[in-house]
Amino acid sequence: MNLELTLSSLVLKAVNELYGITAEPNQVQIQKTKKEFAGDLTIVVFPFVKAARLSPEHTGQQLGEYLQKNNVLITDFNVIKGFLNVTINKSYWITILQQIHTNTTFGIIEAEKNAPLMMVEYSSPNTNKPLHLGHIRNNLLGHSIAEIQKANGWKVVKTNIVNDRGIHICKSMLAWKLFGNGETPETSGMKGDHLVGKYYVTFDQKYKAQVNDLIKKGISEEDAKKSASLMVQAQQMLLAWEQGDNEVRQLWETMNSWVYSGFDQTYRQMGVSFDKIYYESQTYLEGKHEVERGLNLGIFYSREDGSVWANLTSDGLDEKLLLRADGTSVYMTQDIGTAKLRYNDYPINKMVYVVGNEQNYHFQVLANLLDKLGFEWGKSLVHFSYGMVELPEGKMKSREGTVVDADDLMQEMIETARETSQELGKLDECTASEINQISSMVGMGALKYFILKVDPRKNMTFNPKESIDFNGNTGPFIQYTHARIKSVLRKANDQHIDFSTLNINVEISEKEGYLIQLLTEFPAVIRQAGEEFSPALIANYIYDLVKEYNQFYHDFSILKEENQDVRQFRLVLSDSIASVIKTGMNLLGIEVPERM
């Protein structure tokens, strides 16, 4: 039973009988009553004032009297100016709670056999460095968006495109070849992606020194950057790679294998995964073929130097280079090739790219080009454009080695969670194994929640210390509340208290009715989060629910309540809230502990 639809129908019937008008459903505006006023739902009266020929207050009074008299759903009302606040029969809320409690997939729409398919791309790392804080936000957003869309009835394919070729990859390879002395992850004790990243930084340091030496000899900075021997060698290595040189390809495969092994560890710790991984080295040639096809069809054009371009000025965009004069590809070429392979592999209905907002223009162009090339979902692709993440100290730079490493940050969060939990006595009754498990859950939960609770389209500053707090809008606060509820339920089971059924005539408080009303909003929040691609909506809904529950827990007895019907009701309410917390946090990729 949809309460707002039911109430809307009642209002339409009321204005027809009272004022002789046939109003449209969109004229009935219903919203949750503000906390400072009595009531559950508020009806905006202004659309009916003209027909009633009364003041807003008198119109509201007349509508309220009609609704209360003609339907048992409404037990009371009050009017504040042009707003009619109605109180819903408590037995309705209890009946709804019973339905929620017995619905094991409350809020979730299971994908049907013929459901549309959405592909969500996220992560997109380069194989010349380990994942960092920026990648963490990308991966967490991508994973959560995929889970939210699943909960909205989509079939979802989670995909990754690995940027495994190009000059930046050759820089790491060349530095290792020149300065590595055969070092491997095994001999160094370093994760493979960290080892390769170390040589990317080494290249930059040595290259800058060469450039400075050339400048001191009187060469201009621009010429020095081009003629520095390291850069010349890196470009030669890239050319050798593209020509299939065996030695270069072998080194490339070896160092990439180190990186992939390291990435896999990081992804596991982060709790994200992919259904299909594509590699730029396997897609860029497909992109070149597509560009050549577009050239033959007259969609693109060639300039005198042999470069291939798309003229998008008639679409309000610019001219876009697709193939350089020497025939080498650009990022756009690779994205076109990846799109083609994906389109061949899956019946995609909607494509979502989780990529930072610095690439907004790139995806405008990509959508246009894919549409011109005949990909059905081209124009409707979604660039989920999110803001940058920084630390309180400011921005990070990969090549200078000043990034916040994802592995280091996650380990730091877990250790901080362990220390904070122990200081607060939350692990006193836990075994060593449980302490490790809970520390990991809380540390990662703190990190994930802090990032996902922010509107994804905004830039944000990640503050590790704030995120671990067990009070306020944080992951640990929500996790601890879930563990608290589970503790109450375990004690109820130990006392053999049966709370499988409810007496719908039990007297409940305004706070308890409000909690049920909050629970009923969960499916709508999931729908809205799917439409807006915003995990933050779910994160902040769960926080509001948990905050209200903690006030209830503080003010009301549960197990010590003497009235059996009330006690059963409060246990069912608590159990239902724990289930919604778990479901909501799972959509964010966050685990919740059973005990703490």
Render pLDDT for 495-524 as a digit per residue (tens, 0 to 9). Answer: 999 888 888 889 999 899 999 999 999 999
Question: Residue 393: its pLDDT value, please?
Answer: 65
> CB neighbours of 87 closer than 8 A, spacing ≥ 6?
38, 39, 40, 74, 75, 76, 77
Q: Does residue 56 belong to any structural domain of this protein?
A: yes
Residue 28 corresponds to which amino acid? V
pTM, entire model = 0.90
Mean pLDDT of 29-38: 90
Top-confidence range, 158-162, 418-422, 434-438: 158-162
**Confidence class of residue 35 from pLDDT cuts 50, 70 and 90?**
confident
| Domain housing 68 | 3-88
Domain boundary among 55, 70, 88: 88
Domain boundary among 25, 54, 88: 88
Domain boundary among 88, 113, 141: 88
Sheet of strand 308-311, all strands in order from the earlier edge strand to the far edge: 301-302, 308-311, 319-323
Question: Residue 402: its pLDDT value, please?
Answer: 53
Domain count across the chain: 2
**Cβ contact 574:566 at 8 Å:** no
Q: Name which of 312, 328, 316 is nearest 370 in CA terms.
A: 312
The answer on pLDDT for 400 being more than 70 is no
CA angle 236, 238, 240 (to 5 degrees): 70
Question: Residue 472: its pLDDT value, please?
Answer: 85
Mean pLDDT estimate for the chain: 93
Residue 36 is part of a domain; what is its CATH number? 3.30.1360.70
For residues 415 and 428, give the distance between their C-alpha atoms in angstroms, rounded to a whole number.
16
Q: Does residue 338 belong to any structural domain of this protein?
A: no
Q: Does residue 215 belong to any structural domain of this protein?
A: no
Q: Does residue 447 belong to any structural domain of this protein?
A: yes
Q: Does residue 548 belong to any structural domain of this protein?
A: yes
Question: Residue 390: its pLDDT value, please?
Answer: 80
Size of the chain, expressed as the number of residues it contains? 596
Q: How many CA atoms within 13 Å lie on the side-chain side of 343?
A: 19
Question: Residue 398: its pLDDT value, please?
Answer: 41
Question: Residue 399: its pLDDT value, please?
Answer: 42
**Confidence class of residue 1 from pLDDT cuts 50, 70 and 90?**
low
For residues 482 and 475, give the distance between their C-alpha atoms in angstroms, rounded to a whole number.
11
Residue 525 is part of a domain; what is its CATH number? 1.10.730.10
Q: Does residue 335 belong to any structural domain of this protein?
A: no
The answer on pLDDT for 196 being more than 80 is yes
Q: Does residue 102 belong to any structural domain of this protein?
A: no
Question: Residue 42: its pLDDT value, please?
Answer: 96
**Confidence class of residue 235 from pLDDT cuts 50, 70 and 90?**
very high
The answer on pLDDT for 4 being more than 90 is no
Quick one: what percent of the chain has pLDDT higher than 70? 98
Q: Name which of 590, 536, 587 is nearest 152 in CA terms.
A: 587
Residue 464: DSSP 8-state: H
Mean pLDDT of 342-357: 95
Please state the three-class secondary structure of 377-401 as a single string: CCCCCEEEEECCEEECCECCCCCCC
Q: Does residue 445 belong to any structural domain of this protein?
A: yes
Segment 574-591, tens digit of pLDDT? 999 999 999 999 999 999
